[in-house]
Structure 1
Amino acid sequence: MDKGQNSGGLMSSAGLVRYFDSEDSNAIKINPKTVIATGVLIGVLVQLLTFVA
């Protein structure tokens, strides 16, 4: 391969990648701690139901 040739890779797809830095005012906003706490509670509930059954 000649040194002047582009090997493709990330440069060929750089134009396809788009970043959006806007927030939708209608979007649901959930605190990350709430998501973690809900996951832990569901896990505990599943473990309890497995133990009882």
Structure 2
Amino acid sequence: MELKTGYKQTEVGVIPVDWDVRRVIDIAENKKIALMMATGLSLNTSQTKASD
């Protein structure tokens, strides 16, 4: 497949040549939140219990 001018093939697919592929944790200001997002953990820290 031939790429259109101005695009490049990366491990995540075809993107504009002026874009970079980076991990969220590498660019996030809050590394704890980025790590939680990357691992699929909930950002909700409160625990709720169902009423019996």
User: TM-score, normalised on structure 2?
Assistant: 0.28
Structure with more of its chain in strand, by fraction: 2
TM-score scaled to structure 1, two decimals?
0.28
The one of the two structures with greater contact order (alpha-carbon pairs below 8 A, sep at least 6) is 2
Which one has the bigger helix percentage? Answer: 1
Structure with larger Rg: 1
